[in-house]
Chains A and B, each alone.
Chain A
Amino acid sequence: MFHSMESAEERTRSLGRELLESGRITGLLSIIADREGTRPGFLRKPDEVDSLVLEPRYLLAPVCRTLQAMDPEATLGIVARGCDERALVELAKAGQVNLGRIVLIGLACEEEIARQCGCGRPYPRKIDVGQKIDGSKGNVSSGEGSGRPGQQLDWNAELARCLKCYGCRNACPLCICPECKIGLAMWVPTGVVPPDVFSFHLIRAFHLADKCIDCGNCQDACPAGIPLRELHRHLLKMLEERLGYVPGLEVDRQSPLFTDLKHGPFNGPKIPRWMNTLGENEL
């Protein structure tokens, strides 16, 4: 276990070194550990790569976005786990990152991390480091506690714990709006804690309905330990069942919310299909 961990790190470092030496990338984005501690770091020289570590898991995609905003010309290498890759894909769809200038070192998560995250897809599409292991099917546990399926949750009680710290929003790699609606008094009454279930949580969740990549950051960030992920998992399930869409997988597949019921362009006045759609609330 520990041994393979070692080698995974080594392998990542050597890949990173190669990339830097070849000059394909301006720098490598990863977690680094040195005497100043463990943190996300941007490695520019091959010899700096020794400080690269894989643990703890930390979502680097938002950092990548910031870096690209600072220097659009740079080509970034990034040690990307499944969640990183999916986040980057969604960010790319939203025009926030330029995948053309990003080189991924695909890292499949260790079993332990995957279990801790309760991740459904603990691996990127292109795996450079580590072994692909199947994700957990069931619902994630809130914190370390025993897993409870979202439908059985008493949401009133759960959400009553909310401190309105906006941690869930701030931690979300895909919350990219300059002005967030749940920060505006127009949408969410100010000075009310816990916030009104409808306005605060529903609006947040609704905005991410077709974007959430199930990284779990929102839940990890929640000081009140609200199992927000259950909610998103439920949405993702419906999204996949009803519209056959999973966020974060393909760059060129747009969200079904942007298209017609019959996907593809709508062709002006055309033959109606009321036979199967009229008055139905199901898709």
Chain B
Amino acid sequence: MRGSMEPKVLIFACDWCPGLGSDRAGQDRLSLPSGFRLVRLDCAAQVSGEWVIKAFSEGIDGVMVMGCHLDACRHQGANHRAHKKLETLRWLLDGLRIEPERLCLSWGMGREALPFQAEVQKFVSTLKLLKTGEKA
């Protein structure tokens, strides 16, 4: 896979909204970028910064965290904390001059097939731009 243009994307998805979105995308037979792997979670708040960091160190190009929309978290706002925490990590990446765009937070957009597809495609195209930027 290394060197191929298709970015490697790891998606951490809360099973409530985005998990449903991914299933619906399948049921509608939408075509999605080939390079993504989806990990189902009980809540987006389960994603720890270290996982994201580890993913990067394992050579994954981009990590996407998808959760329910910000005030509809089943766990009384756990995703608020997740949002801040991962935002901090983005600042940290920025500080080390690693593109923070590699970590994408998406709240509440992944519930339906089409928005899910749109989110993933958007992220993948961003990553492609980054790649070409590196090449150039």
Contact = CB atoms under 8 A, between A and B. Distances in A.
B91 A257 contact: no
A281 B53 contact: no
Given A268-B76, A273-B70, A281-B90, A261 B95 contact: no
A279 B109 contact: yes
Contacts of B91: 209, 234-235, 238-239, 242
A206 B57 contact: no
A257 B71 contact: no
Interface stretch (B1-9, B18-26, B33-41, B77-85): B77-85
Contacts of A4: none
A283 B70 CA distance: 12
B71 A273 contact: yes
B92 to A, nearest CB: 6
A196 B83 CA distance: 26
A279 to B, nearest CB: 6
Contacts of A282: 87
A257 B92 CA distance: 15
A260 B95 CA distance: 25
A263 B73 CA distance: 16
A13 B122 CA distance: 65
Contact of A199 (B53, B80, B96, B97): B53
Given A231-B95, A273-B70, A279 B106 contact: yes
A197 B57 CA distance: 8
B94 A234 contact: yes
Given A257-B81, A281-B105, A201 B96 contact: yes
A206 B77 CA distance: 22
A261 to B, nearest CB: 5
Contacts of A203: 49-50, 53
Contacts of B53: 198-199, 202-203, 206
Contact of A274 (B69, B94, B96): B69
Interface size, B (range): 20 to 34
A205 interface: yes
A181 B53 CA distance: 13
B71 to A, nearest CB: 4
A261 B80 contact: yes
Contacts of A155: 96-97
Interface in B88-104: 88-97, 104
Contacts of B89: 202, 206, 209
A263 to B, nearest CB: 10
Nearest to A256: B84
A157 B39 CA distance: 34
A7 interface: no
Nearest to B108: A278
Contact of B70 (A150, A199, A242, A274): A274
A235 B49 contact: no
Interface in A169-212: 181, 187, 196-199, 201-203, 205-206, 209-210
B12 interface: no
A234 B95 contact: yes
Interface string B27-45: 0000000000000000000
Contacts of A2: none
A187 B57 CA distance: 10
A257 B88 contact: yes
Interface string A18-40: 00000000000000000000000
19 contacts: A197-B57, A201-B96, A202-B53, A202-B92, A202-B96, A203-B53, A205-B92, A210-B88, A230-B95, A231-B92, A231-B95, A234-B91, A235-B91, A235-B95, A260-B77, A277-B107, A279-B107, A279-B109, A281-B87
Q: Would you list the 9 A-B pairs with minimal beta carbon distance, nearest first?
A: A198-B57, A234-B95, A266-B77, A272-B71, A238-B91, A260-B80, A202-B53, A277-B70, A199-B57
